[in-house]
Amino acid sequence: MTTLALNDPGLLETRAYVNGVWIEGGARFAVQDPATGDLIAEVADLGAADTAAAIDAAHAAGPGWAALTGKERGAILRRWHDLMIQNADDLATILTAEMGKPWAEARGEILYGASFLEWFAEEAKRVYGETIPGHQRDKRIVVLKQPVGVVGSITPWNFPNAMIARKVAPALAVGCTFVARPAELTPLSALAMAVLAERAGVPAGVFNVIPSQDAAGVGAELCANPKVAKITFTGSTRVGRLLMQQCAPTIKKMSLELGGNAPFIVFDDADLDAAVDGAMIAKFRNNGQTCVCANRIYVQARVYDAFADKLAAKAAQLRVGNGFDTGVTTGPLINSAAVSKVEAHIADALAGGAEVVLGGTRAPLGGTFFAPTVLRDVTRDMLVCREETFGPLAALVRFESEDEVIDMANDSEFGLAAYFYSRDLARVWRMAEALESGMVGVNTGLISTEVAPFGGIKQSGLGREGSRHGIEDYLELKYLCLGGIG
């Protein structure tokens, strides 16, 4: 049993939160520390019936919440933000315990999640409609923006705080209410967010959290229930596709942040050291377990060997270990399935002629710890270029020309993030316009921020989160045509 050192033990909540009530539930499920396998807590295990009750509560709470002014809702979101910041250390401890990322990185995620509450606390006051010049002399036209209503949310284990914050903040800002189902592996961060939401004054029924082992059953209820107006999902394209099918009968609005397979391109005119630093972030952040991680690294021939050597030298400095240990930069992978996927991609590449420059095996610590790995002489047909690895594997592909690398980079059903390094201004514009991706990092490997629209094209998803654009997905337009005026 892992005992967490918390300043406020009340943040380690194991009950579900429905309609402002903490519910023990009948069954419970174990939450374990991926670094040690130790039990952290036993959490209430709710199902479809409980989900329906939470949806009813959210539906009932909607009118009262929407009737507040944007400024009033924004003030409550701002208090929630302030409480997240004040309790960031404890929230980071809970996050590291259940997900494994190093504590400093976990605390960074808390600040990232809180930034969405801050951003949308302000945006709540700026949901502007419009007037349109009448099409007839006696007509006046007004466009209103109104909250869509009850929002169902399903989020992954890799950012158990920020992915919920990135959804609940715009939803509550405009007057929607929210039913969140966090990943089975990481429910504690979501429940701690609910503790702070209650303390911030979020009214009963406005924000509900359904911890559950029954992802499919809870998801099916959220998708089928006619009281749910919208589903917002972050996770794999496979599950996103299933949810779309389940939402079709009730024509729900959907926001989908799905899988990625980001190309990272280094031209021979790049600042090579800057490109290596960018690749380290884009590839190894969160141990490679982010949807925007560099999955394929393309390096122009003239600088290929130098880049490979420099990247391997930097990656060799990463320190793999328990996220609570000082100086650890790289925690465990989330589970054994994740380890197997990394190993499969490495084995396939080596069978095809790739070579190991660094790592290539599980870390000496055992368990789900894996050595940061750099492969060279990777080719476009290999699994690592076709599928998202979701682990610490940097696969280097050599290229000669700009046209060749554009063809390889765009040869994917995904289009979430892409990155390239070049100091040629004309090339920067050509590449930025040519890459089939929702987001492009130019001479940087870190693009995630609350101020910019996050999202993908092709099979990487629908809609955008964050920025002034992210609020539109939670609003409906209503057109008023006023006649008889003249």
Ligand X SMILES: O=C(O)[C@H](O)CS(=O)(=O)O
Ligand Y SMILES: NC(=O)C1=CN([C@@H]2O[C@H](COP(=O)(O)OP(=O)(O)OC[C@H]3O[C@@H](n4cnc5c(N)ncnc54)[C@H](OP(=O)(O)O)[C@@H]3O)[C@@H](O)[C@H]2O)C=CC1
Active site residues: 257
The answer to whether the CB of 338 falls within 8 A of the CB of 391 is: yes
Tell me how many residues contact ligand X (CB under 6 A).
8
Contact 281, 329 (CB under 8 A): no
Contact between 209 and 139 under an 8 Å Cβ cutoff? The reply is no
Q: Binds 448, which of ligand Y, ligand X, none (CB < 5 to 8 A, cut-off by type)?
A: ligand X
Q: Which does 52 bind (CB under 5 to 8 A by kind): ligand X, ligand Y, none?
A: none
Residue where the block lists tokens 């045509």: 481
- In the bound state with ligand X, the residue whose beta carbon lies nearer, of 149 and 466, is 466
Question: Measured from the CB of residue 96, what is the shortest distance to ligand Y in angstroms?
Answer: 18
Q: Judge contact between 162 and 465, C-beta under 8 A.
A: no
* Near ligand X by CB under 6 A: residue from 292, 297, 339, 342: 292
Minimum distance, C-beta of residue 411 to ligand Y, in the bound complex (Å): 18
Q: What is the DSSP letter of 75?
A: H
Site residues for ligand X, window 168-197 (CB under 6 A)? none
Per-residue string for binding with ligand X, 214-243, x by CB under 6 A?
A: --------------------x---------
Strand partners, 218: none
Q: CA–CA separation, 262 vs 264, rounded Å?
A: 6
Give me the least distance between CB of 149 and ligand Y, in Å please: 20
Nearer to ligand Y by Cβ, of 371 and 416: the residue is 416
In angstroms, the CA 293 to CA 280 distance is 10
> Is residue 158 part of the contact set for ligand X (CB under 6 A)?
yes
Residues numbered 337 to 376 that lie near ligand X (CB under 6 A) are: none
**Which run of H or of E encompasses 257?**
strand 253-257
Q: Which is nearer to ligand X, 16 or 164 (CB)?
A: 164
Cβ burial 233-248 (10 Å sphere, 16+ → b, else e): bbbebebbebbbebbe
The reply to whether 394 sits near ligand X by the rule CB under 6 A is no
Residue 44, number of CB atoms within 10 A of its CB? 25
Binding partner of 86, given ligand Y, ligand X, none, CB within 5-8 angstroms per partner class? none
Q: Residue 235 binds which entry of ligand X, ligand Y, none, with Cβ cut-offs from 5 to 8 Å by kind? A: ligand Y
Q: Long-range CB contacts (< 8 A, 24+ apart) of 116-119? A: 116/162, 116/165, 116/166, 116/169, 116/170, 116/450, 116/466, 117/77, 117/78, 117/80, 117/81, 117/84, 117/165, 117/169, 118/77, 118/78, 118/81, 118/450, 119/169, 119/450, 119/451, 119/466
Determine, following the binding rule CB under 6 A, whether residue 159 of this chain makes contact with ligand X.
yes
Choose the stretch contacting ligand X; rule: CB under 6 A; options: 123-131, 287-295, 331-339, 357-365. Answer: 287-295
Nearest residue to 431 (alpha-carbon basis) of 261, 259, 270, 260 = 270
Nearest-approach distance from CB 216 to ligand Y, in angstroms: 4
Q: How far is the CB of 323 from ligand X (least distance, A)?
A: 16
Query: CA dihedral in degrees (169, 170, 174, 176; nearest 10)?
Result: -70
Does 46 bind ligand X (CB under 6 A)? Our answer is: no
Instruction: Tell me how far, at minimum, the Cβ of 283 lies from ligand X, in Å.
Output: 13
Q: Which residue's CB is nearer to ligand X, number 182 or number 205?
A: 182
Interacting residue ranges for ligand Y, rule: CB under 6 A: 154-158, 183-185, 215-216, 219, 234-236, 239, 242, 257-260, 291, 388, 390, 416, 461
What residues line the site for ligand X (CB under 6 A)?
158-159, 163, 234, 290-292, 448
